[in-house]
Amino acid sequence: MLYTSRETWRFWRSAIRDWGTILIRSFGIANWFYGLTGSYLLVDGLWRGRHFGFGPNPYEAEAYYFDVAINALFLLGLFLSGYWLILIRRRGAVFSNYVFSTEILFFVLSSWVFLILAMSRNATAASIGMSLGAVGGIGNMGTVLQLLTGYPVIALVALNLARKHVDRNRSWNALQPSQP
């Protein structure tokens, strides 16, 4: 089927006008991809964790399960915000800001706390720091792919740009009142 130049131009013009909603929906799908991949890696790490045991540091098990629990919360937030983004809801963009900001903050603070505690002269604090460092890689398997690809930073910037564009055009999907 051939299209006339006018039909083609009309299509591209509407696509350019709707770039914000297309980008928001794309990030919703990407959230689900990263959420599913992270869930698989997290469950796989838990499954393997039953078999390998923990090392010589006394707090490794607690540190590992703490990291897993925090990652599970991040993945839940990723799924929820992805669902709202696919539906083109403003709350998805706002909630994504919270999820990605706390992911970045958690990564930076956990690395910082691990270093501070590991270099402490207090034996208990040093063993907690060494335990956090020892399980940091396997405990954060739910969000490791996001951090390796820089997805939280990219998504924060792109979603905020798209959100401003969609706000200007007022093209968010709002719940429609039911007709009597």
Question: pTM of this prediction?
Answer: 0.82
Q: Please, are residues 89 and 173 in contact by the beta-carbon 8 Å criterion? A: yes
Q: Is the pLDDT assigned to residue 171 strictly greater than 80? A: no
Stretch 12-20: mean pLDDT: 69
Token pair listed for 16: 């350019």
Q: Please, are residues 49 and 138 in contact by the beta-carbon 8 Å criterion? A: yes
Tokens 């964790």 locate to 49
Domain map (residue ranges) of the chain: 30-169
Which H or E element spans position 55?
none
Binning pLDDT at 50, 70 and 90, where does residue 55 land? Answer: confident
d(CA 92, CA 28): 8
Q: Please, are residues 136 and 57 in contact by the beta-carbon 8 Å criterion? A: no
DSSP-H helix ranges across the chain: 5-17, 19-52, 60-86, 90-118, 123-139, 144-149, 151-169
DSSP 8-state assignment for residue 178: P
CA 168 to chain centre: 26
29-43, 120-134, 160-174, range with the lowest pLDDT: 160-174
Q: Is the pLDDT assigned to residue 180 strictly greater than 80? A: no
Token pair listed for 43: 């469950």
DSSP 8-state assignment for residue 12: H
d(CA 117, CA 134): 13
Q: Which residue has the higher pLDDT, 180 or 26?
A: 26
Q: What is the pLDDT of residues 90-140, one digit of tens each?
A: 999 999 999 999 999 999 999 899 889 889 899 888 988 888 888 887 888
Q: Is the pLDDT assigned to residue 13 strictly greater than 70? A: no
Amino acid at site 15: A
